[in-house]
Chain A
Amino acid sequence: MLVELDAVGYTYLANSAVADNALNGVSMAVDEGEFIAVIGATGSGKTTLAQVMAGLLRPDAGRVLYEGADIWRDRKQLPQRRRLAGLVFQEPERQLFEMTVEDDIGFWPRNVGVAAAEMPGMVEKAMTAVGLDYEAFRGRSPFGLSGGEMRRAAIAGILVMAPPLLILDEPTVALDPVGRAGLLERMKKLNREGTAIMLVSHDMDEVAELADRVIVMDKGRIVVEGAPRSIFSQGELLAKLGLELPQMARLAKLLADKGLALRSLPLTLGEMEDEILSALGESPA
């Protein structure tokens, strides 16, 4: 068990007209190498959850455990423990501040005292993981990059921590289709290479495609969790919570309404194609 939340509660002092961003009795865990997704309407507490998991917000109730140890019991260990989970905030390019991309990505290593000799290697590895060529981009100003490049540079700034758990809060917002596809590919690759990933997202297609397990939140509580197929079969519940279905699931529902029933819920194009072909009596290609 990499990171675990045990009956965690958190209350913000300020209120917003949208919802109460509190957490209430939240218990969940992320295992090594897992890819989980957290979905929920705006104000359901997803962002708060991400920040509590990353050790940035101290819960008012419950425990946050990194490899079994309560991270808030021993405060001095905290900065060291934070590298277990790296959190990429929404619109992470807002955190860029250094004169060069290399220096910005080097912020974390410098802060935790990494030896100067080791840094270029770490930075290069992080940049490669996001598809930014080391030689071409290292000396450039982060503010002179395109929007997509800035986002990648910011993500590299977290990847350089080589965290066993990478938490991403709505990483594809405002990216164009190519940018989005590229980022999703990179997340898949990271996961295949062993990094556990927690994706907070409101893009159900992303979630359907990538997640092993989906956690659904509403008003600060976990409502249900399970495999994507199981979660997205509960159309009524999701609608009640203000959530959409992935496109293929929506299509499946429309087909079912019109009398064409499918054997199981397709999550990808390929699966939908197979399902339709078999439902129509033709053999899958």
Chain B
Amino acid sequence: MTDRTGLDRIFKPSEEIVAREIGGELIIVPLTAGIGDIEDELFTFNASGRAIWKGLDGRKPLKAIIGELAAQFEGDPEEIEEDVLGLVEELVKRRIVVEVV
């Protein structure tokens, strides 16, 4: 997993989304082909996904996010790393986050 993204990489929300908290839920509206479609396709996160999303702020490398989550959730760091990398990969694929270069 580490080879896929690298734990020193930094990610931030894409310019092609609008993220907004509605009714206690984080809603991600993708702005695809010049349109934000809130009729059909939106994204939300479960609790752990949301915790990871908070860390994808354009400043923290992935390893810092993993460290924070390991302390917060008292979970197995390897499992947390796998979860973070898996989610980031998915978000990059969906163009919800982009890597800070």
Q: Do A and B come from one complex?
A: no
A→B interface (CB under 8 Å): none
B→A interface (CB under 8 Å): none
